[in-house]
Chain A
Amino acid sequence: MLDPAGPFAGPIQTVAWVLFVMAAVVMVVVLVALGVALFGPRKWKRRVGGERLIWIAGLVFPVVVLTGLLIYGLTTTARVADAPKPGEMRVRVTGEMWWWRVAYLDGQGREIVQDANEVHIPAGQPVVFELESADVIHSFWVPRLGGKTDMIPGRRNFMRLQADAPGTYGGQCAEYCGGPHALMGLVVVAHAPADYAAWLARQSRPAAAVPSAQGPLALIDQGRNVFAASGCAACHTIRGTEANGLAGPDLTHVGSRQTLGAGILPNNQGTMAGWISDSQSLKPGNRMPSYAVLSGQDVRAVAAYLESLK
C-alpha cells in the first residue's frame, strides 16, 4: 500500500498519511505532557498536574480529533463493495486451498473462460471481483491496488480494483487458511485495453494441438503422452484435450503464466520440472503429490509440453 497504483489504493494511502500525521501529533502531545510531568519546572508541572489536564487533553482533545477523523473516514470510504451493475467488467476469483480459481465473466455474469492464479485486467477501468471460497476462509489482497476482502464459504463478496497503468501487481492470501497459507500468492496483470481484448481472445481458445514431429516437438509430444498416462488429467483441465479434471488449476494456457505454484516460483521449464517432481518440498502440504516416480526424461517432457501451452 506504500506504492498505490490505482484509484482504490490511492485514497487509502492519503487516509494513511492523515492518520500518521494525527498519530504523530498526538504522540508529541502525550510525550510533551509526560516530559513536563517528569522533568518540568515546578510552575509548568502545576499546570499539568490537575483534573483540567484530563478534561482538556484526555477528553475534549481526543473527541475533537476522533470526530474529525470519523467524518473524514466515512466520507472517503469508496463504494468498493457494491454488487456489480450491468456492463461492469467482472472476474470471479474463488479461493481454494492454496491457490486461486479465476473465471472471467461476461456482462450478465456468465463464465467466459477459466484460468488460475493470475488475474488479467484492462488498465484504467474498475473491475468487479466476485470473491468466493471453495473450502475455508481466504482473503484476496493486492496491496498496490486496494484493500482486502474475505472469501467466505456460502457467501459472495464484491470488491472493485483498478490499475491505472499496465503492469504486474503481486498479491497474497491474507486470511490464515492452514498449511502453506504463507505460500498462497497471486499475480494481477494489467494490460492496455486493446492488449487485454487480444489476451482474452487468446485465452478463450483451447490448447493448440501438438503435431507429432522431431526435435523439441518430439519432447512436447512425449510430454503430452506422459501427462495423459500419469493421471494428471484427474485434477487438471487442458481445454482441447481429454484432460478435464476440476480439482486443480486449469492448465490450458499454463505456459503463458508468469509464476508457478500460486505466485511463488518464476515460470520456466526448469521450475516446472522441479514442481512436477517435487512440489511437496517447494510448497509443503499443497494438494499436488510429488511425481518422484516419473523418470527425469518424463518430467522434462511434461514440463516442455506444459510450457508449450502458451
Chain B
Amino acid sequence: MSSETGFDPELYKRFPTTEARPEGELEQLEEVWCGPRRPWEWITAINNNYIGVYYVGAAMLFFVLAGVLALLMRTQLALPMTGFLAQETYNQIFTMHGTVMMFLFAVPAVEALGVLLLPQMLGARDLPFPRLSAYAFWAYLVGGLCFFASLFFGLAPNGGWFMYPPLTSTTYSPGINADFWLLGIGFIEISAIAGAIEIIVGVLKTRAPGMTLDKLPIFAWAMLIFACMIIIAFPSIILSTLLLELERALGWPFFDAAKGGDPMLWQHLFWFFGHPEVYIIFLPAAGAMSTLIPAVAQTKLVGYRLVVLAMLATGFISFGVWAHHMFTTGMPQISINYFSAASMAVSVPAGVQVFAWIATLAAGKMRFNTPGLFAVGGLVIFVMGGLTGVMVAMVPFDWQAHDSYFIVAHLHYVLIGGMVFPLFAAIYYWTPMSSSRPLSERWGKWIFWLMFVGHNLTFMPMHLTGLMGMPRRVYTYLPDRGWDLPNMISTVGSFMFGLAVLLWVVDMVRNFRPFGNKDAGNVFGGPGLEWLPSGRYSLRSVPVIKSLYPVWDQPDLARDVEAGRYFLPGAPRGERETMITSPINAEPQYLQRMPRPSSWYVWGAIFTAGFFLILTIQAYLVSVISGVLAIYCILKWCWGLDRPSGPATVDVGGGVRLPTYVSGPSSHGWWAMVITLIVSGMVAIMACFSYVFLWSRRPDLWQAPPEIGSLPLTLGLLAAAGVGAWASQGALKLDRPRSAGIAAVLMLAATLAAGGAFAAEASAWWNSGLRPDASSQGATVYALLAWQGTFVGISLLMGPFVLLRWLCGLVSSRYPATFEVVALFVAFTAVQGAATTLLIRLFPGVGA
C-alpha cells in the first residue's frame, strides 16, 4: 500500500515493542487524565467518558419526558370527547412531544452515543475538540430544559412540530409560544452542528494507526455519514427558523402570501431538513445494530462493504425525497412522480442492511440476550414501518393516508423500530463498557417483551383508525365513527410501553454505575477496540490495527495494549494528548495537545442559551448582556488556543517521533473550520434558493436593483478583503522579522474591507428604496445582507483579535494555525459576499 503522508508503514513492525516501560509512566497518565475531584469539576469535566455519559443521560431524560407527554395524549384520546386535557393544552403537548422527541431526544441521543463510543472504538484518548463537546452538551441541556419548562407556564409552542406558517405567523400565533420553538430549536441545532463537526474530524483524524477506511468500525462509518448529513441538512432548518423569526419579529414577508411570500417556501426548507433528519436518526442506530449483531451472533458482519455502500446510498438519496411530505399540496405531476420514485428507491439500501443483519444472524448463532432481543425486535418493527413507507410513497395511497393516523402509525414504526429499539440494544450492549455493573438480563427481557408488545398494541390499530378517516393532531374525536375501540387499544398499549420504560429507569438506578475505576468488561464478547481494558485515558497504548475485529483476530492485543507496548503509552509532554492520523490510511501525523478542564466553555454555553431564551421573552437588554458575556467567554476560550509547548517532536513509542504542532490541511483545526464554512455556505445557498423561489412566485413584485454603477465598489472591496486575507498568510510564511506584524495588519485591513463592502452594499439597497417589510424581494434581499453582515461582524471581531495576539507575541510563522483559520474565515466571507451580491444584483435582471 502506498503511503498517504510519507509515513513508512514498515515502522508498524516495531509494535508491539518489547522493552519495559519506564517507572511511573502509567501513574503520570492517570494523573493527567484524572477525573473530577471537587464538585464543581463534575461540571467542567471534558473527557468524553464524562460528557458522553452526561449526554446520553440527558437525551434519555428528554425521551422519558416526551414519553410522559405521549401518555397524557393517549389518556385524552382513550375515549371520544373527553375533557382530560383542554384543547390548548393538548395542542401544546402534541407539539412538544414531536419537537422534544425529534430535536431533544433522537438527534442528541445518537450524537451522544457517538461522543461516548467513538474515541473508544477508534483508539483515541478523546474526541479532537473536547471543549466543543462540552459546550454543545451544556448548551443543549440548559436550552432544552428551559424549552421544556415553557410547558409549565402554558407558553409552549402549539403549532405542531413542523410549525407550518401562516399558522405560526404573528397573525395566528400572536403569543411568544412559537418564538420559544424558533429560537430554542434553532439554537439546539447549532449545538447539533458543533457535535457533527467534532464527529467528522474525530472519525477522519483520530483513528488508531493502521485503521484504514476499510477497517473502520461500521458504527464509525455510520456516524461519519450521519455527521456529513447534518452538515448538509441542518443549515436548511436554521435558515427557515431565522426567516420565520424575522417575519414574526420584524414583519419581513417570507411566508405571507399577501406580500409575495409563500407558505410553501417553509415546507420546502423544512422538509429538505426534515426528511434527511429521519435517516440522520436512523443511520447511527443502524450502525449500532451492525456493530452489536455480530457480537450477538458471534460472527463477522456479512457484507460489510455492502452495508457501508447502503449507508452512503441512504445518505445521498435521502436528500432527494423531501417533497413526499407535500404530495397533497398541489405540486406539479412531474415532480410528484420523481419524488414518489425517489421515496421508493430510498427503501432499497434499508433492505440491504436488514438482510445483512439476517444473514449475519444465520451465519452465526443468535444468543437471546437483551441486546439481541432488542436488535431482532427492532428489525421486525422497522421492516413493518418500511413497508408502510413504501405504501405512502405511492401517491394515490398517500392522498388518503397523508395527515391521518396511518402516518402516525408509520412514523412510529420506523422511528421506534429504526432508532429506539436499536438504542436500547446499544444501551444494554455498551453499558458494561461504562458501568461497573451490567444491566439486569432478567429485567431486560421483561422490558423488551413489554415494550415490543406495547409498541404493536399502540401503533398497529392506528393504521386502521387512519384508514377509517381519523386525522392526526386532533385533541378529541366524535363518537359513532367506529374509532373508539382502536383508540382504547392504543391507549392500553401505550401504558404498557410506558411501564417498560419505567422498569428500565429503575434498573438503570439499580445497576448503572459509571465513572468508576473498573468497568464490567466485555460481557457480550464484542470484537471492537472499545472492549479492551481501559481507564479514563481510554487505552493505555494505541494499537496498530490489522483487522475489522481486532479483539477477535489479535489474541494478544489486550495484554500488549495494557502493557503499553503500542503507540503513545504515556503522556510524553505531561499533557492530555491524542494522536492525529491521516484521513484515509490512518497514518500517524502528529500529537495533538488536548485541553484540561476550565469553566469558560460552560459559562459560554450557559450565556449562549441565556441569550436565545431571554430573547424569546423579549427582555432585550438582559438578552444582549447575556450575548455579550457569551462572546466574551468564547473569546476567552479561544485566546487560550494554539499555544505550542514543549519540544517540536516527541517519541510516541518504538522510537517513532511525531511532531507536536502542525498547521494547514493536516491539522484538525483547519478541518473543523472548513466544515464550519461548508455549513455557512449551505445556509447561504438555501437563502439564495429562497430568493429565486419567491421571485418565481411573484415576479411582478420585483423592483429594479440599485444602479449598476454602485456594484464595482462592493465587489472591489470584497476582492480586496479576499486578497488581503490570502496575502496576509503569505506574508506570515515569509518568516522575516516583521512578517508577523505585517500579516496581522493586513488581516485587520482585510476585515475592514469586508466591512466596507457590506456597508456599501447595504446602503445601496436602502437608497434604492427597497424595504425589507415591503415585499418578498425586500425580505430576501435584506435576509441575505443580514447573513453576510453576521459574517462581517465576526470578521470584525477576528481582525482586532489577531492584532491583539500579535501584540502579545502569539502570532509567528512557526505557529500559524490560528492565523490560517482566521484567514480562511475572512476569505470565505469575501467570496460569500461576492456570490450573494451578484445574485441579488444581476438576477432576474439589472433594469426595471
Please tell me which stretch of B18-26, B475-483, B601-609 contacts chain A, meaning at least 4 of its Cβ atoms lie within 8 angstroms of it: B475-483
**Which one, A48, A135, A152, A185, contacts B330 given CB within 8 A?**
A152
B440-471 interface bits toward A, Cβ cutoff 8 Å, 1 = contact, 0 = none: 00000000000000000000000000011101
**Which one, A12, A62, A137, A158, contacts B348 given CB within 8 A?**
A62
- B330 contacts A150, C-beta separation under 8 Å: yes
- A-side interface size class: 35 or more
Report Cα–Cα, A171/B512, bound state, in Å. Answer: 52
- B166 contacts A153, C-beta separation under 8 Å: yes
Interface: B836 (CB within 8 A): no
What is the distance, in angstroms, from B367's C-beta to the closest C-beta of chain A?
Answer: 11
- A58 contacts B166, C-beta separation under 8 Å: no
**Which one, B362, B387, B398, B477, contacts A26 given CB within 8 A?**
B387
Interface: B677 (CB within 8 A): no
Interface: A294 (CB within 8 A): no
A-B contact sample (17 more), CB < 8 A, given A154-B261, A174-B403:
A15-B394, A16-B397, A23-B384, A45-B363, A58-B351, A66-B348, A78-B396, A136-B172, A146-B400, A148-B328, A150-B329, A154-B257, A155-B264, A174-B328, A174-B402, A175-B164, A178-B91
Chain A residues with CB under 8 A of B358: 30, 33-34, 37, 48, 53, 57
Q: List 5 A-B contacts (CB under 8 A).
A: A12-B399, A73-B397, A150-B328, A152-B330, A176-B160
Chain B residues with CB under 8 A of A36: 362
- B172 contacts A178, C-beta separation under 8 Å: yes
Most chain A beta carbons < 10 A, residue from B86, B262, B397: B397
**Which one, A19, A54, A153, A157, contacts B306 given CB within 8 A?**
A54
Interface: A193 (CB within 8 A): no
On whether A70 and B344 interact (CB within 8 A), knowing A45-B362, A53-B355, the answer reads yes
Chain A residues with CB under 8 A of B361: 34, 37-38, 49
- A81 contacts B166, C-beta separation under 8 Å: no
- A178 contacts B167, C-beta separation under 8 Å: yes
What is the distance, in angstroms, from A181's C-beta to the closest C-beta of chain B?
Answer: 7
Residues of B within 8 A of A (CB): 86-88, 91, 158-160, 164, 166-167, 171-173, 257-258, 261-264, 302-303, 306, 328-330, 333, 336-337, 340-341, 344-345, 347-348, 351-356, 358-364, 366, 376, 379-380, 383-384, 387-388, 390-391, 394-400, 402-404, 467-469, 471-478, 697
Chain A residues with CB under 8 A of B403: 139, 141, 148, 174-176
What is the distance, in angstroms, from A48's C-beta to the closest C-beta of chain B?
Answer: 4
- A143 contacts B380, C-beta separation under 8 Å: no
On whether A137 and B328 interact (CB within 8 A), knowing A62-B351, A176-B473, the answer reads no
Interface: A74 (CB within 8 A): yes
Report Cα–Cα, A148/B404, bound state, in Å. Answer: 10
What is the distance, in angstroms, from A72's C-beta to the closest C-beta of chain B?
Answer: 8
- A27 contacts B387, C-beta separation under 8 Å: yes
- B306 contacts A51, C-beta separation under 8 Å: yes
A170-192 interface bits toward B, Cβ cutoff 8 Å, 1 = contact, 0 = none: 10111111111111010000000
Report Cα–Cα, A33/B380, bound state, in Å. Answer: 11
Most chain A beta carbons < 10 A, residue from B362, B363, B383: B362
Q: Which residues from 29 to 69 on chain A have a C-beta closer than 8 Å to any C-beta of chain B?
A: 30-31, 33-34, 36-38, 40, 45-46, 48-51, 53-54, 57-59, 61-63, 66, 69
- B351 contacts A157, C-beta separation under 8 Å: no
Report Cα–Cα, A45/B363, bound state, in Å. Answer: 7
Report Cα–Cα, A150/B328, bound state, in Å. Answer: 6
- B380 contacts A147, C-beta separation under 8 Å: no
Report Cα–Cα, A175/B267, bound state, in Å. Answer: 13
Interface: A77 (CB within 8 A): yes
**Which one, B337, B380, B471, contacts A74 given CB within 8 A?**
B337
On whether A53 and B359 interact (CB within 8 A), knowing A19-B391, A70-B340, the answer reads yes
- B166 contacts A135, C-beta separation under 8 Å: yes
Report Cα–Cα, A222/B787, bound state, in Å. Answer: 64
Chain A residues with CB under 8 A of B328: 139, 147-150, 174
Interface: A166 (CB within 8 A): no
Report Cα–Cα, A126/B29, bound state, in Å. Answer: 80
Those 8 A-B pairs whose CB atoms lie nearest each other, nearest first:
A147-B399, A154-B257, A49-B363, A182-B474, A49-B362, A58-B355, A37-B362, A157-B330
Report Cα–Cα, A56/B234, bound state, in Å. Answer: 35
Report Cα–Cα, A16/B303, bound state, in Å. Answer: 34
- B362 contacts A40, C-beta separation under 8 Å: yes
**Which one, B167, B380, B469, B474, contacts A34 given CB within 8 A?**
B380
Interface: A1 (CB within 8 A): yes
Most chain B beta carbons < 10 A, residue from A16, A54, A153: A54
- A141 contacts B88, C-beta separation under 8 Å: no
- A51 contacts B303, C-beta separation under 8 Å: yes
What is the distance, in angstroms, from B168's C-beta to the closest C-beta of chain A?
Answer: 9
Interface: A231 (CB within 8 A): no
Chain B residues with CB under 8 A of A23: 384, 387-388, 390-391
On whether A76 and B396 interact (CB within 8 A), knowing A149-B330, A155-B330, A174-B402, the answer reads yes
Q: Which residues from 174 to 215 on chain A have a C-beta closer than 8 Å to any C-beta of chain B?
A: 174-183, 185
- B172 contacts A173, C-beta separation under 8 Å: no
- B351 contacts A19, C-beta separation under 8 Å: no
